[in-house]
Amino acid sequence: MKLYTYFRSSAAYRVRIALNLKGLSYDAIPVHLTRTGGEHRQEGYTAINPAALVPALVDETRVLTQSMAIIEYLDETHPEPALLPGSALDRARIRAIAQAIACDIHPINNLRVLQYLGRELGASEEQKNAWYRHWVELGLQAVEAMLADDARTGAFCHGDTPTLADCCLVPQVFNARRFNCRMEAFPTINRIVDRCEAMEPFRLAAPSNQADAE
Amino acid sequence: MKLYTYFRSSAAYRVRIALNLKGLSYDAIPVHLTRTGGEHRQEGYTAINPAALVPALVDETRVLTQSMAIIEYLDETHPEPALLPGSALDRARIRAIAQAIACDIHPINNLRVLQYLGRELGASEEQKNAWYRHWVELGLQAVEAMLADDARTGAFCHGDTPTLADCCLVPQVFNARRFNCRMEAFPTINRIVDRCEAMEPFRLAAPSNQADAE
């Protein structure tokens, strides 16, 4: 498999974690999101993914896009260890936590959105940082409530093995810390992320461990 | 089942379509997103969904949140008609189209984001409309490319029966038309949405057919 990735992309980071948890090897093909106006917007890459977003996974000849869809695919085609284990209700909770991050937090703080705020609305660095922190803190507050008040939370977001939810949580918290979000209000999240980050599949997926890291 | 819903919420609209396609009856409980500062932010509702977002589905005693997670749950517990039919690759494509809408378009144009643009960044109505159209048109361009260039597209987004992807596409296009986005560049999307909107499960789920419609 080939993964089109950018070391700092939160969505690519999710897929790298999932591939590592499954023990699947892959060739990482870096797509630089800021150099020369963004390699992801150039023809070489848009021919692969017309949405001009990373990641994209190529399995044999098929191109797969959208990080959560890719992880679900990996889980269906390589069931062990399960990233969506349990019953339909278990999976609904795992997906809801993942989507609370991948739909409600991440897209609003994406690089292209921050660029638009500066370019089109004249937002200052300070306003962009306030925007970032607002949505991340509001979103993580919801995730913390989902995790803290539920007996199904274990060593990880759902039970005692990593799931799709942890694949989404760790990259979001990595970015939140980078932008100095106030993380002390999220003890359950911090506990789970610390546990994940001690594990090799998560550690090897981290931005600083990528070949294209700067 | 009980569905906490708001007639105009795109995410609630997705779930209403899925429930109708499955032929599942439900009690709709309206949560007004703008009246008195937003009923979704008040204790009565945050006790049900701490993320303060609609929809939420209550199945017996369990509360499910996040529209795509809810639809996947409905599909697992009521398999016919399948909203994620076919092989792992089919499902990956259906989920990728759904997520190209639910992750890359919708969250950036959510009511709360538009409110923040005005309140915190002093964006004018014109700037908010330009923001809306920018992200919707950019996002639908990607979706159109996914649909137009792929033999797996049929009468609907994937094949000849409605799937999770159509549940996401129809509400997004409903809103795009409401905000006067330029839709003529998206012939495949328009064709599919027109086909969906002629069907009763989609028609009955539309905002104008809800008890709380204004």
Last residue of a domain, one of B81, B101, B124: B81
Q: How far apart are CA B145 and CA B148, in angstroms?
A: 5
A213 in reach of chain B (CB within 8 A): no
Pairwise CB contact (< 8 Å): A127 & B145: no
- Do A169 and A188 sit in the same domain of this protein? yes
Pairwise CB contact (< 8 Å): B92 & A70: yes
- Do A77 and A97 sit in the same domain of this protein? no
Pairwise CB contact (< 8 Å): B96 & A66: yes
- Do A122 and A102 sit in the same domain of this protein? yes
- How many alpha carbons lie under 13 Å from residue A176 in its C-beta half-sphere? 27
- Do A185 and A156 sit in the same domain of this protein? yes
Count of CB pairs separated by less than 8 Å, A with B = 130
Conformation bin of residue B180: beta by default, left when phi > 0, alpha when psi is -120 to 50 = left
Residue B8 lies in a domain: yes
From B70, B107, B121, residue closest to A104, measured CB to CB: B107
B66 in reach of chain A (CB within 8 A): yes
Place of tokens 């049900």: B48
Q: How many angstroms away from the CA of B79 is the closest CA of chain A?
A: 12
Residue B63 has phi, psi (to 5 degrees) of -95, 125
Name the strand (E) or helix (H) holding A125.
helix A125-148
- Supply A29's token pair: 């093909």
Per-residue model confidence as pLDDT tens digits over A23-72? 999 999 999 877 777 777 777 788 888 888 899 999 999 999 999 999 99
- Do A76 and A132 sit in the same domain of this protein? no
| Owning domain of residue A183 | 88-202
Place of tokens 């995790």: A147
- Do B93 and B194 sit in the same domain of this protein? yes
Q: How far apart are CA A180 and CA A182, in angstroms?
A: 6
Torsion from C-alpha of B63, B68, B74, B80, nearest 10 degrees? 170
From A103, A107, A116, residue closest to B66, measured CB to CB: A103
The structural domain count of chain B equals 2
B148 in reach of chain A (CB within 8 A): no
Which residues in A lie closer than 8 A to residue B134 (C-beta atoms)? Answer: 116, 120
B43 in reach of chain A (CB within 8 A): no
Spell out the per-residue pLDDT of chain B, length 214, in tens.
Answer: 999 999 999 999 999 999 999 999 999 999 987 777 777 777 778 888 888 889 999 999 999 999 999 999 999 999 999 999 999 999 999 999 999 999 999 999 988 899 999 999 999 999 999 999 999 999 999 999 999 989 999 999 999 999 999 999 999 999 999 999 999 999 999 999 999 999 999 999 999 999 999 8
Pairwise CB contact (< 8 Å): B113 & A108: yes
Residue A209 lies in a domain: no
